[in-house]
Structure formats: C-alpha cells, structure tokens
Structure 1
Amino acid sequence: MDTPVFVKNDPWLKPFESSIIERIKHYNNKLDYLKDIFGDLDQMSNGYDYYGLNDLGNEILLREWAPNAKEIFLIGDFSNWKPDQQYKFTKLDNGNWEIKIPKTTLKHGDLFKLHLFWEGGDGLRLPSYINRVVQDEETKIFSAQVWTPQEDFKWEDQDFKPSVDPILIYEAHIGMSSEEEKVNSFTEFKNNVLPRIIKAGYNTIQLMAIQEHPYYGSFGYHVSNFFAVSSRFGTPEELKDLINEAHKNGIAVIMDIVHSHAVKNEVEGLGKFDGTSYQYFHDGGRGEHPAWDSKCFNYGKDQVLQFLLSNCKYWLQEFHFDGYRFDGVTSMLYLHHGLEYAFSSYADYFNDTEDIDALTYLTLANRLIHRTNHNAITIAEDMSGYPGLSETIDNGGIGFDYRLSMGVPDFWIKMIKENSDENWNVGQIFHELSQHRAGEKVISYTESHDQALVGDKTIIFRLVDKEMYDKMDLNSESLIIDRGIALHKMIRLATITTSYGGYLNFMGNEFGHPEWIDFPREGNGWSYKYARRQWSLMDHQDLKFKFLSAFDKAMIDLAKDGYLATNDSCYGVAINESDQIMCFKRGNYLMLFNFSPTHSYTDYGIFIESGKYKIVLNTDNKEFGGFGLLDESYIYYPERMPYDRNQYQLKIYIPARTAIILKRIPPKSVY
C-alpha cells in the first residue's frame, strides 16, 4: 500500500506508517467482507427495516436477534403479560427470531415486552431495535410501545442544506431548557428556545439525550434503547417537527450519539439480552467500562456493526438529523479508554493499546453517514488528538469532519483556578488556543456542559462567585462583577477567534447562566430547581446578563460573516508577555487583547500591513457592559517606519481587560 496522504503531509508520522497502513488494511478487509455478506454497506445498515416492528398492512412483524435464546414470547395485555404459546416467536437462521401479530391484537399505543428463555434462566426484555419506549409514571417501569400513527409526518425541508462554514453550534438539552421546574418538551423547545437560537446567530443545534435512557440525570449518556426517541420530551413526530422548523430557519440539527458504551440495565437495555454478557459486548472485564459503570461494545462482531451502523442511518433517514457528535471517542480508540493516560508523543497513539475494531467501526460509520447524506456533519469528541481522526478516508483518515478541541475548556478552567489574571501568560494562551494539526478542523469551546454540573463551576461562576446573586443589577457597583464580565467576554472571544473550523456554546452559558446543573435525584429531593435555564435573567433589562448575551450575538455574527468564514490561519503579530498584550491576525482581521487588569496603553505600537483599520468589535463597548473608553468611529492608519519604508506601525489605545477586533481595508490599487 502507498503511503497515506495524511502521513505524507506530516513527516512526524513516518515512523508509524506501518501501524497506520495496518489499520487501513483492517478497514478495507472488513468493508470487503461485509460487502460479500450483505451486498454493500447501505444494505447492511437497513437493519432497522429487518429487525424491530414492521407494518405489513394487516399484520405487524417483529424480528429479534438472540442467538442464545431457547424460546421467545411476546407479552402484553393480550396475553395477560404472561408467556402464551399463541404468541411464541419462530426461530430462524443465524440466531434470528420472528413473530407476526394481527393489528387487531397489537395496535397503535399498545404496550408490550419480550419474555426470553435461555438455558438455566429467563428474563423480560425490550426489543433491541424498538423505536418507542415509555415509562409508567407510578411504577417507573419501561415498556415498548407500538407507534404506528395513521398519518405520516409531512416534511417541508426538501431543499435544506446546512450552511456551516464556519459551524457555530448551540448545544442544548431539551428537558432542562425550560425556565419552569419541569422536564421541557420538543414542542416547547421549538416554540420558546429555537427562536432564541435563531436570534443569537448560531447555525447548528446539537441536541443531547435524544436516545432513550432510563436515568434522566445521566445527561443522556447511559443509553438503553438506541432507536427510541426519549419519550420524556414528547413523540417522534414532535421531534421531527422541531427539526423541520429549524431547517426552515436555515439551522442544521445534529445529534449527540452515544456508541461508545451502553447502560448495564437488562430489562430496558441490551445487558444480557439473550442471557449472555457477550451478545453485544465484550465478555469479561473488557466488557465493563471501569469509569462509567457501563458496557463496552464488541466492534469486531458483524451483528454489533449492523446494529450501530443501522442506528447511524436511522436517525439521518427517519428524523432528518444533519449529522452527529460522537460521544466518548477517546474511550473507543484505546483499550485503556484514555483513562489517566498522557498523550505526549505520537508513540502513545500507535501501539498495542489501539482498538483496531473500534477504529474500523468509526471509519465505516463515517463512510456510511457521508454517503447517506453528502452534507452530513460528523464530530469526534476526542481528548487524545488521535492523528487522522478528522482526515478524510481517502487520505487514510477515520473520516470525521471535525474534532472537538477538548483541551481548550480544560485549559481555561486550569488557568482561572490556578492563576490570578495579572499572572496570565499570553504566550501560553495563544499557543494553547491556536495549536492544531495542519489541515485538521477542530471545534473550540470555552466550557463544556460537564463543567456546569454540580460539584464544578461555570466560567462566570468561577470569576464572580457569590457576587452573582446580588450584584448583577445595573445599579450595583462591584469590581468583582466588572472583572468577571470583562474576562468572560475576552475568554470567549479569544477562543472563537483562534478556532479553526468551528465554535460551540452550551445553552445559557452565552449570557453567564448562574449556578450549576443538578438533575433531580435522591440527594436533592428530586428537585428540578437546578435542571432548567433562567432565560428571564437575560431578558431582564435591569440586569447585566443582557450585556453578555448582546456581546455573544455580536461575536457570533462577526465570526460567521468574517474571519471564520474563510478559516484563515492565525499569525501572531505581537505576543508581549510582560505587557500581557496578545495580538494576531486572520486574513484582514486584527485581534488585539490586553489581559492586564491594571495597565491601559496609549499609542501601543503594532507592526502591521499598510491600509486603514476600523474597530468592528470591542468588548469595552457600553452595549456589552464595558466603559466605552474607545472611539469606534475612528479610522486607524498605520505609519510608515522611517528606517524601513516597507514596514508600518499601528498605534492604538487599548484599555485594561479589553479586546478589540479591527478590520483592514486594503489600499486602493493605483492601476
């Protein structure tokens, strides 16, 4: 095999070429093997049309894969919830089973389960490909539900195509998106939250917790039913309606998909589905995730590949999702799951800790997703920085469009916790934020939803702490609040202006949402008080939250229409650690940050190209809660240096704790 393109582009990968080629060969061999069995990847990924419930007109057909089962019965009200020979599955080849039931017996809205028997035991289960699961409000028990509404949903997004250059993501959790202390619905989100996202300027929504999960407080990451829309938030049609409305407003919708592990639950999930621990998962210790209390898929099994690949196709086809953010990719890539492992050199990636079956699955998934929808978006949540992860498959990569830059939020939290801002090193900041592998698109973000969970703090809460509660009104004066608001804007602006590919914000963080996220649990009396978003704080004209919201809107708009639209590289212009001045350019935009808390600089000199420059964004603008110390109407003309007529210097006043973006207007040609 020839040297992969992405290896040619990075000479540091040359010593590991054989390992990379071995991975590519494994993928190609698996792809050929699957084609021999199923015809092609597209055919293989239609598993949800073969398994699960299928409407045959007068009958309903249900198929299941359970190779260790001896008998399977369909149970429900029709059988008094007991095994009945009349509702016994027929055994097929290759561990498959099927049953046909008249629609008069099993109709829309009816509840049912499976009762499996195996050598030495039995258990109640929900079908593995089931697309509707509901929980009884009193008993809290989950059951499968027949969902065959009379009318099909009418889509109105046939001409929609994501406009994601750059991709600006608003990450949202449907359930906690209400201001009321409750679980919000898809319809309420569409009516009340979607308009806010549209107004804020984001072009992509990333929805969390869509796949059904038994425990609400898991944030949706302990999935039980991979093909079922979480019924907590409404019906499948209501989710479709939300996505349809987003598309009509030019906004893409991607799903947080969890294929890195599965909940251990047996009745609701896939755990010991047919009585064995190894049906979908690795047997023994390898099948147990040591940190997440969950089960690890065996990506080497054909049936597991079909299940997961069909799941990828299902959400694209049935719900018109525009792609996925794959959760927990680092855990999938390595046998050690990336736990307490320092990735300090390329040798840490390419060794016997790689899970080559997982790498092959992710490559197959990206191939399938992009062939199912040529405009699809795939994002890898990977903290290791695995080389080739967001490189095309043709170039020898895994095929993701973007990698989530997980080191950035970790860097900011560490910086805020461990150093007072008068000691912040701007050289370190610029290096940490702007570094990425050549050609690799990454999505940067300042803080993750994890950092907002109880026991941790959001950035704004770390900056202002208890002052948040009584000093955010316009009439209150507080140096702590002034500092917090100034740094909150600067941190976010530094992150987005150095990003290479896209930017992500978690719901509410754009306006400095107070406190933490704490889902209902026994320890808090099952309260929803902290599992919601207080939008009224942003809307209240007498509170300072509105300043952060207004700044975020301006920041997003400029990124979308300006420097991120062309994805120009960052070039350091003036990184002065003693002055705490960080200045860099991207195309015709000049980013200038003064992180000093005490020093404002008059006529600060920046060596830059000729032309004229105008301020297009200023964190100190009064509209954003600043002091208005800069005249934004002023046009700056760099002066030609007397000792070098080809060099120009821009002199500018830059207040303390202020960041500004200037746009260069090139001089007119004399020709």
Structure 2
Amino acid sequence: MGNVIPYSLLSDFDINLFKAGKHYRLYNHLGSHPMKHKGKKGTYFAVWAPTAKSVSVIGDFNYWVEGEHQLNVRWDESGIWEGFIPGVEQGALYKYKIHSNNNDIKTEKADPFARYCQHPPNTASVVWDNTYKWKDKNWMDTRETKNSLDKPYSVYEVHLGSWKRTKENEFMSYVDLAEDLVKYLKEMNFTHVEFMPIMEYPYDPSWGYQLTGYFAPTSRFGKPEDFKLLVDKLHQNDIGVILDWVPSHFPEDAHGLGFFDGSSLYENPDRRRGYHPDWKSLIFNYGRNEVRAFLISNANFWLDQYHADGLRVDAVASMLYLDYSREEGEWEPNIYGNNENLEAISFIRELNQEVYSSFKGIQTIAEESTSFSMVSKPVSIGGLGFGMKWMMGWMHDTLEYFKKEPIYRMHHQNDLTFSMTYAFTENFMLPFSHDEVVYGKQSLLYKMPGDEWQRFANLRLLFGYMFTHPGTNLIFMGAEFGQSSEWNFQQ
C-alpha cells in the first residue's frame, strides 16, 4: 500500500466559503471518500485541524501506526489536512492521529464527517460509500402538500432501541423496523414518526442526545443504507420522518469533537459559554464561521442524503440564553448587557433560512420551553424561522389538570383555558414526549386519577382534548395503548 498522494476535493471557492461559514455542503468534501484516482482505488481523506503539527490516518490497513500515512496540510491557512491513500477501500477502520502544536499533545480522534462508525463501545470510523436507490419519488414530489403547516400532524415519537425487541431482548434492525414499525404506524393512522437521535452516540443511557458521529446513523441497528431503507419504506406508506437533531451540546468523550486538535476547535473556549453544567457536555462555538458551516452542513446532510422531512431541534432554550442553568457570576452578559446569546440566535436564523430555501416541504421544530418571542415566525420579520415550536406550557398545565380528581377540577379550569390566550402566537406542536414518562414521573396512564377503568377513561379524554386543541400533536410510544409502566430504554 502506497503512501499519501497529494489530491484535493476542495477548490479555492470551497475554502473561501468554509472560512466565511457559508459552505453548507461540507460533507461532499471533508471526511473519507472512497474513489478512484489515476486508475487506483483508494480513499481521499480531509480533516479540519488548524492547530495540528501533523495529522496521520491510522487504521486496520497500517496496524494503527502513526506516520505511515501522514496527510498534507493545505497552503491556504484553512487548517485542512488532506490526501489520497491508495488501497484503502470500503469497510476500512480508521481514526486521525493528531499531533498538536498546542502543548505537544497527541490524540486519536474519530472522523467528524464519518458516514459510518464502529458499533459502540468501539470508537473507530469506517470508510463507507452508502449508495442507495431511492423509491420514494412520489412522496418527495408531493411532500410540500402533505408536510405543510395546514395539514394534520399526528406524530409518533420513537426510541428505536426500545420500541420493540427480539425474543432475546436484542435490538431490532433498521430492516426489521422497515417492516414492523411501518406496518404499525400505518395501522394506527399516524401521519409522521419522530426518531429520537439516530446519529452515532457512545452511551446508551443518553438516549442518543450526546452525539459523537454527527454524519453517521448509529450502527446499533445496521448499516447506513439500512436506515435509508427504513425512511424509504415510511415514505412509500405516506408517513413523514422527523429526526431529533442536537446542535446544542456534545460530549467530552476522548474520540469525539472536544479539544479536537489540541485546542477548543468546535467548543467555545470560554467555559461560561462552552460548558453545559447540567449535561456535563461541551457547547458549540456559534461565533466561529467553520463551526456554523459544520452544523448547517449537518442539518442539510440529513435532509439531502437521508430524505428527512423535518428536524426537531433539541434544547433550543439552552442555546438562546447565556444564563441558562447558571447562577450569578457563572455567565457574562452580551454587548447589550442582557442574557441573550446573540451568536446562537444568528446561527439559528441562518440555519432555518438555509434549510427552508434548499429543501421544499420540510419543517424545523423547536423544543423551546421559554417565552422567547417569534420562535416560529419568519426571519424576515425578526423571528427565529422555525416551522413549529413545542407548546411546553400547555403540556405542563394540561397534565396538572388531569392529575386532579374530577371533583376538584372545577376550581382549576384556568389550567385548561389559559393556553387559548397564546395558542395563536406561534405555530405550536402539542407534545406528550418521552420526558414526561421517565425518572419517576409515571406513565401517562398512571398520572390519571381513579381506578383502572377511570384511568383509561381519563386518558381517552386527554387525547380527545389534545387532538381538538389548536396545534399539531405528538405522543411518545406506549401512550397510544395506555402503557402502565414508565418508559425503560433498556427493554
């Protein structure tokens, strides 16, 4: 196997866009790309590591030895290292060995743009070119009419690892789910399914909300093309696909994005803005152009390569406020002296403008729990540009009301009526999500008062009220048949 051959998939124009934070299709250029070059089969690698002294590709093809395949740094000060390695083909395992100028640190990192990752707890990236022949043209051509805000949304939120298991309590594969889950959704008349994060994540108890592989569907359930098959089958059955997407924070795992090249590359270097105390995770540096391009490219990737119909953006409130979950003295006001994160707000607006202009008929949905104004209003009139916002206040008030014995409810009618004072200020989605049925909060059925018959009657009443209230609807798996136990991701 030869050494690294100088080669690039990046033009000067690509580099200028990247530096300006305006390159929204970085996945076509960075990462690993199996290809032919000068008649030789191999793989082109490119990684952004501006503080690096050297970057080597290590893998099962060179016994994980540093220096055997050292990438070349570009001359244009973009901080990108690249090169073509002959003989490295589909399925090869690899990481980047980065020797940093900063404190002379050496780290082994997974590829931020990897299309496929090893099954956790293994952490290597996999060279992969997931070609797939889509059969959902009919859906994609007419999606705009089926996925618009004036159409019904009955969304089924699913955690793929625990919706159903095999008899041996093993995960079902994407291929199995393409049969069983699709059939079930069709039978139950759901219009959409929302998947809790399916991007690669190392730790099962995070439910997927601590991502390390932003461009790879998790290998727990199969190959990338198997996930495409699942989406394809859903579309063929007229069911829209919403993906949970997490641009708000990422874990500190050694192989992940944190301290990537020996510097705070993806995260904000100021711990007051770059570290999340609740989730013990790092926060993206929304003021850095290249990081914005990375995140917007990632949103585009799932809409483009995986035909997703919507992105439900996680923990938006934590992005909007500098003092989110922080005590006095643990945060610094913005230039106007208030608590809004201006860089994150401008990033969100840019994200929404880009995805709505590039993909017909998609939606973005904000999980936003505060009274921040104009979340689902167009950027052109000062809004954040989301299609919808989760109506968390309604969810909280409604559950408080329904928990009470019917005899006492007459004194708490305001819990039901208050939502109508603001129901039309945003495009709201009414969520009874996974967060309401964990950590001792009980299942929806067991939040209801009375004996078993009364509990089921109350739950039917709750859903009847929900589906007649203004807004789109989302329920978490298990709620539809009145599951008695709390959700347990392990079974």
**What is the TM-score of this pair, normalised by structure 2?**
0.87
> How many Å separate the matches in 2 of 1:434 and 1:330?
22
Which of 361, 366, 375 is 2:347 aligned to? Answer: 361
CA drift of 1:507 comes to 1.2
Change (3 A) 1:435 1:340: farther
- Aligned residue number for residue 162 of structure 2: 176
Counterpart among 375, 382, 397 of residue 361 in structure 2: 375
Q: Does 1:219 align with 2:203?
A: no
Q: Which whole-Å CA distance do the structure 1 matches of 2:269 and 2:19 have between them?
A: 26
1:81 corresponds to 2:52: no
- C-alpha contact (below 8 Å) 2:247/2:313 kept by paired residues: yes
Is residue 148 from structure 1 mapped to residue 135 from structure 2 by the alignment?
A: no
- The equivalences for 1:327-406 within 5 A come to 327-337=314-324, 352-406=338-392
Q: Which residue of 2 aligns with 1:593?
A: none
Q: Secondary structure at the match of 2:448?
A: helix
Q: Is the 8 A contact 1:213 1:223 kept in 2?
A: yes
Q: In the alignment, is the contact (CA less than 8 A) between 2:22 and 2:293 conserved in 1?
A: no
User: Structure 2 vs 1, CA of residues 398 and 50 (structure 1 numbering), >3 Å: closer, same or farther?
Assistant: same
Shift of 1:37: 4.5
State the 1:427 CA deviation: 2.8
TM superposition shift of 1:403: 0.4
8 Å CA contact 1:433, 1:498 repeated in 2: no
Quote the Cα distance in structure 2 between the aligned partners of 1:359 and 1:36.
25
Aligned letter for 2:463? Answer: R
- 1:516 equivalent among 469, 472, 486: 486
Distance 1:48 1:78 in 2: 24
Q: What displacement does 1:39 show? A: 9.7
Matched, 1:287 2:287: no
Give 1:76 deviation, angstroms.
1.3
Partner of 1:421: 406
Alignment of 1:303-314 (within 5 A): 303-314=290-301
2:253 corresponds to which residue?
265
Post-superposition offset of 1:95: 1.1
1:111 partner letter: L
Query: Percent identity among equivalent residues?
Result: 28
Verify the 8 A CA contact 2:154 2:473 in the aligned structure 1.
yes
**Are 1:171 and 1:206, in contact at CA under 8 Å, matched by a contact in 2?**
yes
After superposing the two structures, state which structure 1 stretch, 181-190 or 434-443, moved more. 434-443
Compute the displacement of 1:339 (Å).
6.5
Structure 2 residue corresponding to 1:159, chosen from 138, 143, 163: 138
Q: Does 1:125 align with 2:109?
A: yes
Question: What letter matches 1:72 in structure 2?
Answer: V
Q: 1:360 deviation in Å? A: 0.8
Measured in 1, the distance between the counterparts of 2:172 and 2:271 equals 39
2:219 aligned partner, one-letter code: S
Which AA in structure 2 matches 1:78?
F
- 2:79 counterpart residue number: 95
Within the candidate set 466, 488, 508, 2:459 is matched to 488
User: Tell me, what secondary structure is at the counterpart of 1:134?
Assistant: coil
Tell me the equivalent position of 2:31.
52
* Contact 1:335–1:354 (Cα < 8 Å) also in 2: yes
8 Å contact from structure 1 (residues 35, 41) kept in 2: no
Q: Which of residues 189, 194, 201 in structure 2 aligns to 1:206? A: 194
User: Partner amino acid for 1:491?
Assistant: L
Matching residue's letter, 2:297: S
Which whole-Å deviations, capped at 9, do the CAs of 1:21-65 have from their partners, x for residues lacking one?
A: xxxxxxxxxxxxx99942999961011111101233233111111
Kept in 2, the 8 Å contact 1:452–1:458? The answer is: yes
Shift in Å, 1:159 = 2.7
- Secondary structure of the 1:424 match is helix
2:363 partner letter: I
Q: Contact 1:433 / 1:495 at 8 angstroms: preserved in 2?
A: no
Tell me by how many angstroms 1:421 deviates: 2.8
User: Which of 425, 429, 448 does residue 463 from structure 1 map onto?
Assistant: 448
TM-score between both structures, scaled by the size of structure 1: 0.64
C-alpha displacement of 1:433: 3.8
Deviations 1:228-250 (A, max 9, x none): 11111111111111111111111
- Alpha-carbon distance in structure 2 between the residues aligned to 1:41 and 1:158: 35
- Which of the pair has more CA radius of gyration? 1
Q: Relative to structure 1, is the Cα distance of residues 238 and 36 closer, same or farther in structure 2, using a 3 angstrom cutoff?
A: closer
**Conservation of the 8 A alpha-carbon contact between 1:454 and 1:517:** no
Distance in 2, Cα, partners of 1:506 & 1:318 = 26
- What is the one-letter code of the residue matched to 2:124? S
Structure 1 unaligned spans of 5+:
1-33, 342-349, 465-478, 520-527, 532-671
Higher relative contact order (CA 8 A, sep 6+): 2
Q: Report if the CA contact (8 A) 1:130-1:228 is conserved.
A: yes
Give yes or no for contact 1:392–1:398 (8 Å, CA) kept in 2.
yes
Aligned-pair CA distance for 1:509: 0.8
Q: Which whole-Å CA distance do the structure 2 matches of 1:456 and 1:438 have between them?
A: 29
Matches within 5 A, 1:467-616: 480-500=451-471, 502-519=472-489, 528=490, 531=491
User: Which letter does structure 2 place at the counterpart of 1:331?
Assistant: S
How far does the alpha carbon of each residue in 1:548-593 deviate from its partner, in whole angstroms, 9 at most, with x for none? xxxxxxxxxxxxxxxxxxxxxxxxxxxxxxxxxxxxxxxxxxxxxx
Structure 1 residue 201 displacement after superposition: 1.2
Which residue identity lines up with residue 74 of structure 1 in the other structure? V
**Structure 1: how far apart are the matches of 2:354 and 2:217?**
21
**Matches of 1:437 and 1:35, distance apart in 2:** 44
On the 8 A contact 1:170/1:507 being kept in 2, the answer is yes
Q: Is residue 56–residue 71 contact of structure 2 (8 Å, CA) maintained in 1?
A: yes
